[in-house]
Chain A
Amino acid sequence: MSAQAKLLLRVTGVAKRFGSVIALRAAELELRAGEIHALMGANGAGKSTLVKVITGEFPADAGEVTLAGNVTVFRSPAEARRAGIVSVYQDPALVPDLTIAQNMRLARVPLDAVRATMRELGIERLDLSRRAREIDYPHLRLIDLSRALASKPRILILDEITAALPADLSERVFAAVREWRRRGHSVIFISHRMAEVAALADRATILRDGVTVGVTATRDAEDKIVNMMLGAEVAKAAAAPQPRASAGIAPQAAPALELRGLTYGHALSGVSFRLGAGEILGIAALEGQGQQELFDCIAGVRRANSGEILANGRALELRHPADAIRAGLVLVPANRLHALLPQRSIRENVALSSLGTLGAWGPIAMRAERKRVESAVERLQIDKRASSEVRRLSGGNQQKVVIARWLAAEFRTLLCFDPTRGIDIGTKRQIYALLREVAGQGAAVLLFTSELPEIRLACDRAIVLFAGRISGEMPASEADEARLLRAAHGLAAPVRAEAPV
C-alpha cells in the first residue's frame, strides 16, 4: 500500500451522544481506495456508532464525513448505498417477515446480482422464497453480505461479521473481502479477533472511549494495537489490587459451584471450573463470547445441552430460575431494574426474596422482616435518603439493594453479571468491597465484568472466555489487562488458531 494511494473516505472530529451517554467524542478515520481497513476498540469504544454515522442511520452531533473530497451527509442508509457505501450491520438488516427475494426487491437490488454473489459465498443453494425469519443467524449475515456486494459498493463496511460464523463460513467471507480489494474497492472491517485482523487488514484505526487514538499498519502490530485499545489511565487504575480478606478460610471439600463440561448450542462448549466458598472468581470476555449464556445456564434461565452444574457437590437440575434460587444460586444482573420493583421502597425490595421464610412465622413476621431488612441495609451502607422508591436511588445504590436482598435471604453464591455497568467509580469500589466482605463471610461470588481492569481489583482468580471456551485461567495477581485481553482475543488460546490463507 503506497502512501500516495487515493484517499476515499475521511472522517474528522465526529461526535455523537445519546442522552447522557457519549458514544463518540472525536472519531477520525482515513480510508484509502483499495485497502482493507480494520476498525478496532474495546466494547463500547464507539465502532458501531461510527459506522452508523457514516452510513446515515443517524446524524452526527459534530464533525464531517468527506467522500472522495466532497463533504457528505447521508440522511438514510439508502442514500449512503446510492453513493456507494454499504454496511453489513451487526444485526442483520433483513426484514424477518419478508422472503429473501422480497427483501432484495425492497432494497432495489437486482436478484440476478444477488444470486451471483451468493454463489461466490457458496450459499447459492439457499431458497430465496424463504422468509428471513426462518433462516439462522450466520446465513442471514451471509445473505446480508451478498446483498451488500450485489449493490457493488466502493466502500463495504462489515461490522463484526465473523463473530457468529463458523470457521468455514468465515473463510468464505475473507475470500470475498480480499476479492473486493483486488477489484480496487475498499473495506472497513470491524472484528474483535486480532488474528483475523492481522491476516486480512492492511491498516487499523483504533478507537478508545469514542476517540481515535491511533492508526497503524497491522503487520506485527498486535501488541501495539492492544496497548492502544487499553490506554494509559486503565493501566493506572489497576495499580492497587485488593488484598484477599478471606485468606483464613479453610478450603471446603466440595466447591460452592462447579461446572463440568457445560455446553449450550454454539455459544458454550465444554466449560468447566470450580468456585470455592469465600472465593471471588472473575470472568473476562469480549462481547458475545458466551458469558451471557453461561450465567443464564447457571441461573436457570436457559437449559444447557450437556454438562453438569453442581452446588456444594450436589448435581442440579435447573429448569427454571426458581430451581437455581432454591439451590442457593442467585443472580445480580447488569440491569438493576430487571431485579427490582422500581416504584416500591428499599424495605419492600429487600424483603421480597425472603417473604417465604418470614411468612412461615405468622404474627411476628413484620418485626422479623424489619429487623432483617434493617440489618442488611445497615451493612451495605445504602443511602436511605430516598428509601421510599428505589427508582430514585443512584444505580450503585440500586445494585446494593439487589445484593442486600439476597443477603437478607441468606444466599451464599452470588452470580454477578456486570454489576457495575454504568456505575461511578466510588460506588464501584464500595460494591467490590461489599463483594469482598460477603466472600469473607463464606459466600462464593462469580463475577463477570466488561471492564477488564476490575478483574484484578475485585477477584481472586480469573478465567477468560473466548468463542464459548475457556481460553485462559490465571490468579488475579497476574490478570493484568494485557494478558486478559490477549486471552480474550483468543491469542493465548491453544483451542483455536485462525488460519491465515
Chain B
Amino acid sequence: MGAVHILRRNGGSRSFSHHLRAAGMPLLFLASILATLAIHRNFGAFDVQSLALGALPLAMAATAQAIVVISGGIDLSVGSMIAVSNVLSASLMQHASFRQSLGLAVLIIGLGAVQGAINGILIILSRIPDIVVTLTTGFIWGGVALLVLERPGGGAPSDFLEIGAGADLSPFLPNALLLLIVAVAVIWLPIRSSRLGLSLYASGSDSVAAFRSGVDPRLARILAYGLGGIFCAVGGVSLTMTTGIGAPLAGAYYTLSSVAAVVIGGVSLNGGRGGVLGPILAALLLTLLPMDLIFLNIDPNYGQVIQGTLIVLVVMVGGFAAFLQGRS
C-alpha cells in the first residue's frame, strides 16, 4: 500500500526539468550558431575552421576538467599542464621528422598522464584539499614550461601541424573537430561505459557509499587526475598544431576557462553529475562568443562584460533547472 503510493508520487513529473538539463547545452549551442549565422551572413568553411582551431585546446581542457570534477575534485593546474606539453612539443619537434613527431606526441601524452596522476597521488597522500594541491602544482608546471621555452617559439613539421590545422575530409569538417571527436571517443567513451567510469561518478557523488559498494575512491581519484592529465597533454599538443609554436604563458587562459566550460556544461562542482559533451559544447560556445562580438564590432572590453553576463545567465538557468528537478 505504502509502496505503490510512493512509487506513483515520484513517477511522472521529473521529465521537464530533467530534459531541460540534459538538452539545455546542445540547444544553447544551436541557438548561438543560428545567432552567428544571422550576424554573419557569409559564415563559411573558413569560419568553421577558425572556430574549430580556436576551440580545440579549450575543448580538451574542458574535458580534462570535467572528468576531474565529476570524480569529486578540481584541477587548477590544467593550464600549466597544457603549457608544458605545448612547449615540450614545440621545442622537441622543431627539427624532428613527421614520424618522430608522432612518437614524441605519444610520449608527451604519456607524460601528461604522469603529471595528472602526480596531482591525484599528492592529494590522496597529503589529504590536502584538491584546490590547494593543484594550485601549487600548477605553479610548478608553469615554471617548468618557462624553463623549457623562455619565450614563444619552436615549431613542428608542417605535415604534423596539418593533422590539427587542415581539413582533409571536407572544408566544413576541419581536422581539429575530428581530432576532438576521436580523442574523446578513444579515451573517454570506453571508460565512461565501463565499471571504471561508474566508479569515477560514484566516488564523486558519495565516496562513502562508493567505498561500501566496493570502489576504492582513492584509486578513482588518481585515475581521474591521470585522465585529466592525458587530455591536457592532448590539448597542449593540439595547441602546437593549431598555432604552430609553443608559448609558455598561453596556458593561464585555460585553467579558468575550463572551469567556466564545466560549469556552463552542466557538470556539478559537487561531483558525480554531468558528462563531457556539455563542457565541450560550452568550450565551442566560449570560443564562438568573442568571434560574434567581433563581427558585431563591439569593443572587446564590452565583449568581456557581455561574455561574463551571459555565462552567469546560463549558469543561473542551469541552477533553476536543478532546483526544479530537486523539487519534483
Contact = CB atoms under 8 A, between A and B. Distances in A.
A98 B198 contact: yes
Given A91-B208, A93-B212, 19 more contacts: A76-B211, A78-B213, A93-B213, A95-B205, A95-B209, A95-B210, A97-B201, A97-B273, A102-B198, A106-B195, A106-B202, A106-B210, A107-B213, A107-B214, A108-B195, A123-B3, A125-B3, A139-B7, A169-B2
A127 B3 CA distance: 13
Contact of B198 (A105, A125, A127): A105
A136 B3 contact: no
B272 A96 contact: yes
Interface residues of B, number: 28
A94 interface: yes
A92 interface: yes
Interface in A323-380: none
B211 A95 contact: no
B216 interface: yes
Nearest to B212: A93
Contacts of A138: 2, 6
Contacts of B272: 95-97
Contacts of A126: 7
A112 interface: no
Contacts of A91: 208-209
Contact of B202 (A95, A122, A168): A95
Contacts of B215: 78, 106
B201 A139 contact: no
Interface in B1-15: 1-4, 6-7, 10-11, 14
B175 interface: no
A125 B6 CA distance: 11
B162 interface: no
B214 A169 contact: no
A287 interface: no
Contacts of B273: 97
A98 B201 contact: yes
A81 B213 CA distance: 9
- Considering residues B3, B204, B205, B212, which has the most beta carbons from chain A within 10 angstroms of its beta carbon? B212
Interface residues of A, number: 34
Contact of A168 (B3, B204, B211): B3
Contacts of A97: 201-202, 204-206, 272-273
A449 interface: no
Interface of B: 1-4, 6-7, 10-11, 14, 195, 198-199, 201-202, 204-206, 208-216, 272-273
A125 B195 CA distance: 25
A96 B209 contact: yes
A287 B114 CA distance: 48
A411 interface: no
A220 to B, nearest CB: 32
A135 B1 CA distance: 17
A76 to B, nearest CB: 7
A91 B211 CA distance: 13
A81 B206 CA distance: 19
A130 B204 CA distance: 18
A147 B214 CA distance: 13
Contacts of A123: 3
A57 interface: yes
A106 B213 contact: yes
Nearest to B4: A125
A78 to B, nearest CB: 3
A135 B14 CA distance: 12
A94 B10 CA distance: 18
A84 interface: no
Nearest to A107: B213
Interface in A43-84: 57, 76-78, 81
A146 interface: no
B325 to A, nearest CB: 9
Nearest to B215: A106
A123 B2 CA distance: 11
25 contacts: A57-B211, A57-B212, A77-B211, A77-B213, A91-B208, A92-B209, A93-B208, A93-B213, A94-B209, A95-B201, A95-B272, A96-B205, A96-B206, A96-B209, A96-B272, A97-B272, A98-B205, A102-B198, A102-B201, A106-B213, A107-B213, A127-B11, A135-B10, A139-B7, A169-B2
Interface string A107-143: 1100000000000001101110010001110110000
Contact of B206 (A77, A95, A105): A95
A494 B140 CA distance: 69
A289 interface: no
A93 B209 CA distance: 4
Contacts of A135: 10
A126 B11 CA distance: 10
A139 B3 contact: yes
A293 to B, nearest CB: 19
B265 to A, nearest CB: 16
Given A95-B205, A96-B272, A135-B10, A89 B212 contact: yes
A76 B205 contact: no
B77 to A, nearest CB: 25
B274 to A, nearest CB: 9
Nearest to B2: A166
A96 B273 CA distance: 10
B213 A95 contact: yes
Interface in A371-393: none
A443 B302 CA distance: 62
A135 B211 CA distance: 21
A420 interface: no
A106 B210 CA distance: 8
Contacts of B198: 98, 102, 105-106
Contact of B214 (A89, A102, A106, A139): A106
A95 B1 CA distance: 27
Nearest to B204: A97
A97 B325 CA distance: 13
A103 interface: yes
A134 B322 CA distance: 12
B326 to A, nearest CB: 9
Contacts of B10: 130, 134-136
Tell me which of A92, A106, A122, A139 has the highest count of chain B C-beta atoms within 10 A of its own C-beta: A106
Nearest to B70: A97
B145 to A, nearest CB: 36
Contact of A108 (B1, B2, B214, B216): B214
A399 to B, nearest CB: 30
A240 to B, nearest CB: 44
A395 B246 CA distance: 59
Nearest to A86: B212
A125 B209 contact: no
State the 5 A-B residue pairs at the shortest beta-carbon distance, nearest first: A78-B214, A93-B212, A97-B272, A97-B205, A107-B213
Contacts of A102: 198, 201
Contacts of A107: 213-214
Contacts of A95: 201-202, 205-206, 209-210, 213, 272
Nearest to B214: A78
